[in-house]
Amino acid sequence: MPAASKLNLRIQWDGTAVLGIEVQSTRPPAYRLLSGRQPEEAVQLIPLLYSVCGKAQQAAALAALSAAQGRAVPQIEKLERAVVCEAMQEHLWRLLLDWPKRLGLPPHQKSFVRWHAALNAIAAGQGNEENLKVELHQVLLGMTAAEWRQLDTHARLLECLKVKQGLLAPIIMALDLAENRLDFAGEQAGCDLMPVWTVFDVNQQLAGQFGTEFAVRPQDKGRPLETGALALTQRKPFVQDVLRMRPARLLARLIARLLDLLDSVPARGRIEQLAVGEDAGLSVVQTARGMLLHQVRIETGRIAQYLIVAPTEWNFHPQGALKALVGLQESNMARLMETVKLFVLSLDPCVEFEIEVVHA
């Protein structure tokens, strides 16, 4: 996105606790650049507007525009493979580079570079998906896929990591410790996790709300929702137990990312499309950060309306997931800043962010 795209976070703090949080986005809406263009132009332009998850954005554009034109998504298998591999690369970036840095641990640059290249090859129709899956389990976790699937509680996870010592063991244990130290007064606010919606569900639930205001601050009948890997895996008993033990969702989001990463090979089905009226189409693509939504209407061969709702708009809604920070008991500003950064990283915005602490 253009350099102007940024999240500004204002934390209201009285020296002992967080009293409020304000979230403001400077991301320019896409419709200003896409209205009046031919569909083919939009398909080429959209990935240039979104430097993060560009393949998912282009796939969503193709799916929505194809639905509006009464066509199936062209080269769907190739697109699915590219979107899956891109999501896995994003997960690995966070797990191997960003999370270690945030937790004061050494990053795993070499492993990331090697796996990033392997996923590029798989996206191009080369490489071996199953071999990569085996390697990811062994190196990241120090266990087989079967052993990973047997984990069903927070306690068993920590017990296994102490013994197995994969690359992610110190990262998971450090985040678990950091979350366990958080002190909240009263019940956390937060927001609901998004249901696991298909494109038909999205059309039924949200179609009546589509518009420019919805694209900037999406919600479901007045309530913000959290999207992402945690929302997709929320029904798994393992995830539910982690949430029970660590309700601030920091560890749960990381574990959900890991589940999505390891389940992505060779999984497909991340791209859906639906015709929603004459010359109108809707698409849903599941990215590493959550549900990406494109809605388009064509008139006389040109785009009359184009709405894009990225996961960041859901997860950083002003009344959304970061409201969980309200009530946090913290008397040290440096520790407060680090905690806020943990929350932001766990929600993974696709734009830069700035944090300002305001004394209330």
pLDDT at 251: 97
Does a structural domain hold residue 253?
A: yes
Backbone φ, ψ for residue 148 (5° rounding): -60, -45
Beta strand 192-193 with 225-226: parallel, antiparallel or unpaired? parallel
Residue 171 lies in a domain: yes
Question: Which residues, 6 or more positions from 189, have their beta carbon under 8 angstroms from its beta carbon?
Answer: 323, 324, 326, 327
CA–CA gap between residue 322 and residue 341 (Å, rounded): 11
Give residue 162's Cα distance to chain centre. 28
Q: What are phi and psi of 15, to 5 degrees?
A: 95, -15
pLDDT tens series, the chain, 360 aa? 444 678 899 999 999 999 999 999 887 777 778 889 999 999 999 888 887 888 999 999 999 999 999 999 988 999 999 999 999 999 999 999 999 999 999 999 999 999 999 999 999 999 888 899 999 999 999 999 999 999 999 999 999 999 988 999 999 999 999 999 999 866 665 799 999 999 999 999 988 888 888 988 999 988 999 999 999 999 999 999 999 999 999 999 999 999 999 986 555 679 999 999 889 999 999 999 999 999 999 999 999 999 999 999 999 999 999 999 999 999 999 999 999 999 999 999 988 899 999 987
CB atoms within 10 A of CB 99: 22
Cβ contact 202:115 at 8 Å? no
143 and 166 Cβ atoms separated by less than 8 Å = yes
Q: Which residue is associated with the tokens 């998971």?
A: 172
Write down the H helix ranges in the chain. Answer: 31-34, 39-49, 54-68, 76-93, 99-102, 109-123, 129-136, 145-150, 154-164, 169-180, 199-206, 212-216, 229-233, 237-245, 250-263, 311-315, 333-347
In whole angstroms, give the CA distance from residue 131 to residue 124: 16
Does residue 1 sit within a domain? no
Cα distance between residue 189 and residue 123, in whole Å: 40
Q: Is residue 144 part of a domain?
A: yes
Q: CA separation (Å) from 77 to 82, 84, 105, 170? A: 9, 11, 38, 37
Let me know if 181 is exposed, middle or buried by CB neighbors in 10 A (0-12, 13-18, 19+). exposed
Domain assignment of residue 121, yes or no: yes
Q: What is the pLDDT of residue 3?
A: 44
Instruction: Report the domain count for the chain.
Output: 1
Packing angle of the helix pair 76-93, 250-263 (nearest 10 deg):
140
pTM equals 0.94
By C-alpha distance, which of 246, 94, 253, 91 is closest to 176?
246
Residue 158 lies in a domain: yes
Domain that holds residue 203: 6-359
Query: Is residue 209 a part of any domain in this protein?
Result: yes
User: In this structure, how many other beta carbons lie within 10 angstroms of the beta carbon of residue 169?
Assistant: 19
E-strand spans in the chain? 6-13, 18-25, 192-193, 225-226, 271-275, 280-286, 291-299, 302-309, 352-359
Residue carrying the six token digits 């080269």: 75
Domain with residue 209: its CATH number is: 1.10.645.10
Q: Is the N-terminal amide bond of 266 cis, ω within 30° of 0? A: yes
Phi then psi for residue 281, to 5 deg, are: -140, 155
Distance of CA 98 to the CA centre of its chain: 14
Residues 162 and 238: their CA atoms lie apart, in Å, by 18
Whole-angstrom distance, CA of residue 226 vs CA of residue 307? 19
pLDDT at residue number 325: 94
Sign of CA dihedral 20, 26, 27, 28: positive
